[in-house]
Each structure stands twice: as structure tokens, then as C-alpha cells.
Amino acid sequence: MEAHGYARPGGGGLWGRRPVQRAIGLSLTYAVLTVGGCIVLLPALWMLSTALKTSSQIFTVPIEWLPRPVVPGNFLTALRMIPFGTYFLNSTIVTVLATTGTVVSSSIVAYGFARLRWRGRNAVFYCVLATLMLPAHIMLIPKFILFRYLHWINTLLPLIVPLWFGTPFAIFLLRQFYTTIPLELDEAARIDGCSRLGVWWRVSVPLLQPALVTVALLSFHAHWNDLIDPLIYLHSNRLYTLSLGLLSFKGEYNTYWNYLMAASLVAMLPVLLVFYVIQKYFLKGIQLFAGLSG
Amino acid sequence: MHPVSKAEAVSAVQRSGPAALTRRGKGGMRRAEALAGMLCVAPWALGFLLFTGGPMLFSLVLSFTRWNLLSPPKWVGLSNFQTLFVKDPLVWHSLLVTTLYAVLAVPLAVALGLLLAVLLNQRIRFLSFFRMLFYLPSVVSGVPVALLWSWIFSPNVGLLDGLLGLVGIRGPAWLFDPHTVIIAFVIMSLWGVGGSMVIYLASLQGIPPHLLEAATIDGASAWRRLVHITVPLLTPIIFFNLVTGIIGALQMFVPAYVMTQGGPNNASLMFMLYLFENAFQYFRMGYASALAWVLFLYVAVLTFLLFRFSGRWVYYEGMLKSDN
């Protein structure tokens, strides 16, 4: 038998072993995915179609899916209207540093909550969750005052540094993933002479790869698209991130919808690229399980 | 590997086997474990003290004041909470509306995300393409989304009513009808299900394949394997999506702010929208802080109950038994 960790059409797959069952199951899968896929694709197509229109074509009723004329030049115009390179670089700096910080710090903090016993562990964990529950809007002003006191306003620091201390969402998610790994693995490694740090690095981290890349993706996604924090802390144009820069297409009197859509589509590409790379981790499965049962 | 701990472990095992390892020097081991645990959590504690604790405390203090952001805050004791609980019917209305939204949106998102993940965890053609396709909507954000959904939901000429018209149903006015505006927001929220789908996909990689294979050989149907093997093993992750989903849904803000401003007739007056209006439109910062802390307590109690009853249905393969 193969030792893959994901459901396969044959053998221990999702649908069963008989060819008829498999055929029915797979047809059902394709049917659901195709219908659902068409539904989710419509908005993207609409964005693309809007990005290729002249400004007079945008709000025609009924909607013109294939614009006449098609203006692919909108993409170039849009990228030239704003300092795209600068914004892109700023977004990249913030997102990469914030994501790295989130993954590294949260995986360590979550390990402390999930795998090590100490007094007050659960109480402190509830405190971590509690910080998710107070609405972010109410913290805007106190946080601004704090960062002004630190002289961090109009720098990228407020968007990066706090993420290096663990984020509640990632801590909670990784804690849940740690609890799905059998404790016997840790104990076996300890008996074999592994230190606690060694158990974390050699046992937990390899097994948590799918979870860690997921946290990386969701964090990348969130920071790339974040609008509120850049809006509040960044004031000079040269520091703007891409999501903030896109707002300049939405003028006070006139919104350049076609250019906005074109630039938005380009801005989405890095997140999709990261997703494409990451989802390959969801094919390998965890081979260690093969030798673990019983 | 740490040389000292290795030597310790080896000598202990040589002397009287693995069982002695836990009995001998239990106190010291426990203390070392506790120290390691606290060291791991220390970054969060430090970050909390530096960046989060202060602003939280500040907002708590503000909830006992009247503050219009221009003149200094004025202490008014419990007056904000008195207004909130007794005199302001919109508080209860918005809490109800928000709860209704969460009750509809969260379970649907949990189920749909799981379904997509299970379907996209097979070896099929165009797998990467299909996965990207279903993640795509969650990537679109900001202004384009608001515009997009305004178009989808626009009465009669919109995409949704157009599709309903094809099958002979006269679609509702969605965002302009108090009876359907919440449903419209629920539909819209399902668009972002890609995030939870990825989390489920990651957790599906941890399911031991031999369990599924054994069940198949024993003749269990696809449905029975899903319900009796896959779902139970995923319960810690389902629980995560449920808790964070509820926390997120009860703080739902952007769509209501951008698309309906709480209308029609306050039918989509989400709690966060009401809070935001108080804080940044009427400049009642003290009252808004009081609202925030009421929402905080509401969410905290719900989350606590979820954790309390999670023992009945969440299966933790590797949960530490003793909690002290």
C-alpha cells in the first residue's frame, strides 16, 4: 500500500473501492466543483472585464461581459498612475517581515500552551483568546497614542514589530494542530535523549508543516490586504503599501473603476502565487503516521 | 540535542526502564517543564504588556467617562452602562441582529469549508486550479468587493435576481428589504470560505491513511468514513473555526458600513457599526468604549461556554491530561 496521507480515488480513497462507486463519486466531485467554480469565477471575470473597459462602458445595463473595445492598455496606465514599484516594495517588506514574525513566534508560544504543563496555562490561554474579543476599533486611538509615544508613527514599525510577539489567531490555530499529534511521539523522542527544544524542532515542526504553511499563507494574505493599520500609521506617500495606494483611484469626485480593478487584479497576484506554492504541501501527507498505529 | 538531558535520560532508562523516568526526579522534571512552558509563552506575555494590555486598560477606563476626543475625558461613573442597558433600545436591537447573522453564517461556513476541503483533497485533474479557484474570492478585498456585491444584490437587474429570474422566481430586493438584508450578508460571508478551507486542507493531511483504508476494507461507505473517522479527527480544527468564526461574525463591520449603513430601517445595524457610529460620527468615545466592553463580555461568555462543552465532542489525540 502507498503511504500517502490524503484520500485517493483508489484504495483507501474518498469513495470506496468498487469502480462503480469511484466513478459515481468522482463524477459528483467534478460536478460540484465545476458548478461551484463557475459561481466563484463570475466576480473575478467581472473584475477582469471592468479592468478592460473604457470609463464610459463600465456601468452599462445589461452588463457587457466582453467589452468593445477591449483596452488591455488599462493595466499599464493604472500601474503608471501610482508609484506602483514603491508601494509594491513597501507591501513586500511589511508582509514578509510580519509573516515571518507571526509564524516563528506563534509556533513557539503555541507549543508552550499545547505540549508543556505549567500552572496557570489554561488561564493565560484564555487571556490570549480574550485579546481577539475586544473590538479592534476601540483600540485604534489608544494604540495610536502608544505608537506616537514610541515615535513609530509614519514608520513601518507598527505594522511589523507587534507581530513578532505571537498573534492570537495563529497561536490558537497552532495549539489546536499540536493537540492532534499523539503525545507518545514527544515521549519517545524524550526517552531517546531529545531535549525539549529538540522535540519541538525535530518532532513537532516537521509534523506541523501543513499547519505552519497555512499560518504563513493566512498571515501573508492578511498583511498584504490590510488597510486599516497602514491608513492610520503611514502618512507619507513613499511609505504607502499597495492596499493603501489603491485607494488613490477612488477620488473625491471621480472613481477610476477600470484602473482600480486593473491595479487590484495585479495586487492580488502575489497572494495567489503564495497560495499556489503552499497548496502543494497538501499533497504529501504525513508519512510518520504509517509507522505509528498500535 | 541537549547533552545533559540525553545523559540523564540514558542513565535513567538503563537503570530501570522508561517507567522510572517519570517517577524518578518527578519534581525536578515538572519544574523544568513548567519553566520551559513559561519561556515559550513569554514572547506573547511581553507583547501583551507592550502593545495590547495598555490600550485595553485605557479603553476600559474610558468606558466610565464622557469623551468627545477634543476636551479631556470626564469621569461619569456607571452612567454609560446605565444608558446602554436601560435607555438605548438600539443596543439590544443591534445585538440581536448581529447574533442572528452569526447564528446563520458561522455553521454554514464551517460546513461549506469542510465540504470543499474534503472534495479538494482527492487526486483529481486540475487539482491546483480548482483549489486556487475556490480560494480566489477570499483574496479579493476592499473597495472592489463592496462594488461587486452591490451589483450582485441590486434588485431586478442584479446578478442574483437575474439568475433567479431564469428559473422563474421573482428575487427579493436583498439589501433594500429588511427581511432579506441579513441573508444577503450571510451569502456574502460564504464567499470568504477559502480561508477555513485551507485550514481544513492542512488538517486533513494529519489523518492517518491506514484508518481510512481499514474502514474501506471493512466495507464502510464514503459517508460513514467521513462521519466516523474524518470528522472526529478534525474536531479540534472544526472547533477552532467555530470559535474564531463566532468571534469574527459578532464583530462584522465592513460590509454593513460600506453597503447598507445599517439600513433599511436599522435591519442590518450590526453591533460594531453602531459602536463605530458612536465613536467616530457622534464622537461619544466613552459610550463606544462601554459598548465595546459589553460586546467583549458577550463574546467571552459564549467562547467560555463553547470551551466548557467542547469536551463532549472535540477529540484531542494529544491533549495533556493534567491541567494545573
Q: How many Å separate Cα A254 from the centre of its chain?
A: 32
Considering only B94-103, B148-157, B172-181, which range has the smallest mean pLDDT? B148-157
C-alpha cell at A71: 483596452
Among A1, A115, A179, beta carbon nearest to B213: A1
Q: Cβ contact (<8 Å) for A218 and B198?
A: yes
pLDDT over 80 at B8, yes or no? no
Contact map slice: A 139-198 vs B, CB within 8 A: 139, 141-143, 145-146, 162, 164-166, 169, 171-173, 176-183, 185-186, 190-198
**Interface contact A181-B318, CB threshold 8 A:** yes
Q: Is A285 left (phi over 0), alpha (psi -120 to 50) or beta?
A: left
Partner A, chain B 17-76, Cβ-Cβ below 8 Å: 18, 21, 30, 32-41, 43-48, 50-52, 54-56, 58-59, 69
Average pLDDT (B286-299) is: 94
Give dist(CA B284, CA B266) in Å, integer: 20
Interface test with B, best of A138, A246, A288, A289 (most B CBs within 10 A): A138
Q: Which CATH code, of 1.20.140.10, 1.10.3720.10, 3.40.640.10, 3.90.1150.10, is assigned to B77-310? A: 1.10.3720.10
Q: What is the pLDDT of residues A131-177, one digit of tens each?
A: 989 888 888 888 999 999 999 999 999 999 999 999 999 999 999 99
Residue B184 dihedral angles phi and psi, to the nearest 5°: -60, -45
* Rounded-to-10 torsion of CA B75, B81, B84, B85: -160
- Which residue in this structure is represented by grid cell 462507486? A21
Instruction: Give φ, ψ of A148 to 5 degrees.
Output: -70, -40
Q: Is B100 on the interface with A (CB under 8 A)?
A: no
Q: Is the peptide bond before B137 cis (omega within 30 degrees of 0)?
A: no
In degrees, to the nearest 5, what angle opens at C-alpha A248 toward C-alphas A244 and A252?
125
pLDDT over 70 at B11, yes or no: no
Sign of torsion over alpha carbons B70, B72, B74, B75: positive
- Interchain CB distance below 8 Å, A138 and B119: no
Q: Do A165 and B46 touch (CB under 8 A)?
A: yes
Choose from B94, B141, B294, B302 for mutation: most chain A CBs within 10 A: B141
Nearest to B140 among A21, A43, A105 (CB): A43
Asked whether the beta carbons of residue A112 and residue B233 sit closer than 8 angstroms, the reply is no
Asked if B229 has any chain A CB less than 8 Å from its own CB, the reply is no
Q: Which of residues 121-180 of B touch A (CB under 8 A)?
A: 121-124, 127-128, 130-144, 147-148, 151-152, 157, 159
Q: What count of Cα atoms within 13 Å lies in the side-chain half-sphere of residue B6? A: 9
Eight-class DSSP state of A255:
B
Name residues whose C-beta falls within 8 Å of residue B244's C-beta, 6 or more positions apart in sequence: A132, A169, A172, A173
Using CB atoms, which residue from A14, A133, A275 is nearest to B222?
A: A14
- Do residues B235 and B314 make contact, with C-beta atoms less than 8 angstroms apart? yes
Q: Cis omega (within 30 of 0) on the bond before A62?
A: yes
For residue B321, what pLDDT is reported? 62
Instruction: Count CB atoms within 10 A of the CB of residue A4.
Output: 18
Kindly state the average pLDDT of the residues B98-111: 96
Is the minimum CB–CB distance between A38 and chain B shorter than 8 Å? no
Chain A residues within 8 A of B142 when measuring between CB atoms: 225, 227, 243, 246, 264
Average pLDDT over residues B139-146: 74
Cβ contacts of B189 within 8 Å, gap of 6 or more:
B105, B109, B249, B252, B255
pLDDT of residue A14: 73
Pair B162, A61: CB distance under 8 Å: no
Residue B265, φ and ψ in degrees, nearest 5: 55, 40
Give the pLDDT band (50/70/90) at residue A8.
very low
Chain B residues within an 8 Å CB radius of A286: 205-206
Q: Where are the domains of chain B?
A: 1-62, 77-310
Q: Is B305 on the interface with A (CB under 8 A)?
A: no
Cβ neighbours of residue B50 closer than 8 Å, sequence gap 6 or more:
A162, A165
| Cis peptide upstream of residue B264 (ω within 30 degrees of 0) | yes
Contacts of A26 (CB under 8 A, 6+ apart): A9, A15, B122, B124
Whose CA is closest to B228, among B240, B241, B242, B216?
B216
Cα separation, B134 vs B178, in Å, equals 30
pLDDT, position A4 = 42
Top-confidence residue, A11 or A45: A45
Domains of chain A, each with CATH number or no CATH: 19-71 (no CATH), 83-291 (1.10.3720.10)
DSSP string, B136-170: HHHH--SHHHHHHHHHHHSTTTSHHHHHHHHTT--
Contacts of B217 in chain A (CB under 8 A): 17
Quick check: A44 and B136 CB within 8 A? yes
| Look-up of cell digits 460571508 | B189
Residue reference for cell 469623551: B67
Strand, helix or coil at B74? strand
Q: Summarize pLDDT for A202-245 with one digit per residue, the tens.
A: 888 988 999 999 999 999 999 999 988 898 899 999 999 998 88
Chain B nearest C-alpha distance from A286 (Å): 6
Q: How confident is the model at residue A61 (pLDDT cuts 50, 70, 90)?
A: low
C-beta atoms of A290 and B209 within 8 A: yes
- Give contacts of A113 with chain B, Cβ < 8 Å: 37, 40-41
* Least confident stretch, A15-29, A120-134, A158-172, B89-103: A15-29
User: How distant is the Cα of A17 from the closest Cα of chain B, in angstroms?
Assistant: 7
Judged by CB atoms closer than 8 Å, whether chains meet at A32 and B119 is answered as yes
Counting other chains too, the contacts that A21-28 makes at CB distance below 8 Å and 24 or more residues apart are A21/B222, A25/B222, A26/B122, A26/B124
